[in-house]
Structure 1
Amino acid sequence: MPALFVTGTGTDVGKTYVSCALIRALKARGAVVDAFKPVVSGFDPKDAAASDPVRLAAALGDPGGMFRIAPRRYRAPLSPNIAARLEGQTLGLDDMVIDAVARAAGLRDGLLLVEGAGGVMSPLTDGETNLDMITALGAPALLVAGSYLGTISHVLTALVALRAAKAEVAAVVISESLDAPDLDQTAQALSPFLAGAPLFLAPRAQAWDAAALAEHLLARPRTP
């Protein structure tokens, strides 16, 4: 399946920042790319312009694409299963997987970025996590982390979970956190523990050009 699952070590580590930069870099190289966010919680319709789906739509050049990108949107800033329950709904993993597969199939030779909610082990439904969706899709994972103190442990823990589930790790991206240790020093400390997973850095001082990440992904063998 021509899809890449963008996951994280936790919430608010920069998944959408990385996804948007990657979309722009892929489009600049003539690649066909689309985005899908199976479920969004903490969505305020009155402040939709700041939401992840609108940012993804803008990166795609599809300003009206929010509803297509994120069909399940809930107000409460809680795990998606709880936020959905507060609105009288129950989330099912099969439904989200079917939607993602259908979206990927429609791209033909393109790449679908499937952006999860929260971290690798964050619940999506009452009994399943982002990791369960990654394995159900059989899609490689792009693991995004912050550069805050403690991130090395979080990255390695997430990698253990992904690899235990036999999920392919396409790359790790360290998205710079505010008021955090030096980004390069963090990368140098983390690198020896990655067991071959490619590492990319996403600084915040200026808009990050994800060219190197895009080239790496385009050069990888495609998942059937």
Structure 2
Amino acid sequence: MNSYFVTATGTDIGKTFCTAGLLRANPTLSAIKPLLSGYEEEQAESSDSGQLLAAMGREATGANISAITPWRYKAPLSPDMAAAREGQSIDYAALLGFCRAELAKGPTLIEGAGGAAVPLTPTKLTVDWIADLGLPVLLVTGSYLGGISHCITTAEFLLRRHISIHAVLLNESPQAPVPEAQTQATLERYLPCRIFPVRRDAGAEDFRTLAL
């Protein structure tokens, strides 16, 4: 089993839902979400990090949250902006070091913050983070109106940086304009990777069909 970086075409697309589903389907996997914006300590259990911990059978305690998400910020903004609101900046070298240490422990999913082009520092984007770790990507997209363009654009952006896309996870959007199978068929015509449809009520058994 390999390690993967989970990124998306934007924010609130379903990265955490998909990552948690993959964790439940593959108990030998672990996951981290190093950067998290919009974090409220009193809502730790329902936070992205809390959901990942639950999928790994761990409680959302302060220590466990810190172990998988060292960089947490209150403002629901891109990580660089959220950090700046608190008078901080993200140490990119430390971020890479943390991820590499976790990857050395075994197969790991690294969930990014927002989409593939989200700024982390004045000179680094999420795509740089992925490239520097040398990981293949699980790209999460939605079946919402405009999702096809966003997915193809993001995939081309990643491929241009020589980043391998293991699969596109087509997460079913509420009020999608067409059936998910139709969106899947369209994406398959344009992208050189597997398109894996994910229902809104998908459980662990659904994610088991995606070979990791």
In the superposition, the TM-score normalised over structure 1's length comes to: 0.89
Which of the residues 140, 144, 150 maps onto 1:144?
Answer: 140
Q: In 2, Cα distance between the equivalents of 1:203 and 1:192?
A: 21
Q: Is 2:89 the counterpart of 1:56?
A: no
Q: In 2, Cα distance between the equivalents of 1:51 and 1:177?
A: 20
Q: CA deviation at 1:82?
A: 0.8
Q: CA deviation at 1:206?
A: 4.9
Deviations 1:68-89 (A, max 9, x none): 1111110000001111111111
Q: CA deviation at 1:14?
A: 0.2
The letter for the 1-side match of 2:85 is L
Q: CA deviation at 1:207?
A: 3.4
Corresponding residue of 1:184 = 181
Which of the residues 113, 116, 120 maps onto 2:112?
Answer: 116
> Is contact 1:3-1:104 (8 Å) kept?
yes
Q: In 2, Cα distance between the equivalents of 1:172 and 1:113?
A: 15
Q: CA deviation at 1:45?
A: 1.1
Q: In 2, Cα distance between the equivalents of 1:62 and 1:155?
A: 33
Q: Aligned ranges for residues 62-77 of structure 1 at < 5 Å? A: 62-63=58-59, 64=61, 65-77=64-76
SS of 1:142's partner is: strand
Corresponding residue of 2:38 = 42
Corresponding residue of 1:170 = 166
SS of 1:212's partner is: coil
* Matched positions, count: 207
SS of 2:149's partner is: helix
- % same residue: 40
Deviations 1:22-51 (A, max 9, x none): 011111xxxx21111121000011222210
In the superposition, the TM-score normalised over structure 2's length comes to: 0.93
Q: Which runs of 4+ in 1 moved over 3 A?
A: 205-208
Q: Which consecutive unaligned segments of at least 5 residues does structure 1 have?
A: 218-224
The letter for the 1-side match of 2:91 is G
Corresponding residue of 2:90 = 91
Deviations 1:140-170 (A, max 9, x none): 0110001101111111111111111001111
Q: Which consecutive unaligned segments of at least 5 residues does structure 2 have?
A: none
Q: CA deviation at 1:67?
A: 1.7
SS of 1:188's partner is: helix
> Is contact 2:5-2:135 (8 Å) kept?
yes
Q: CA deviation at 1:126?
A: 2.2
Corresponding residue of 1:33 = 29
Q: In 1, Cα distance between the equivalents of 2:153 and 2:8?
A: 11
Which of the residues 157, 160, 175 maps onto 1:161?
Answer: 157
Q: CA deviation at 1:205?
A: 3.7
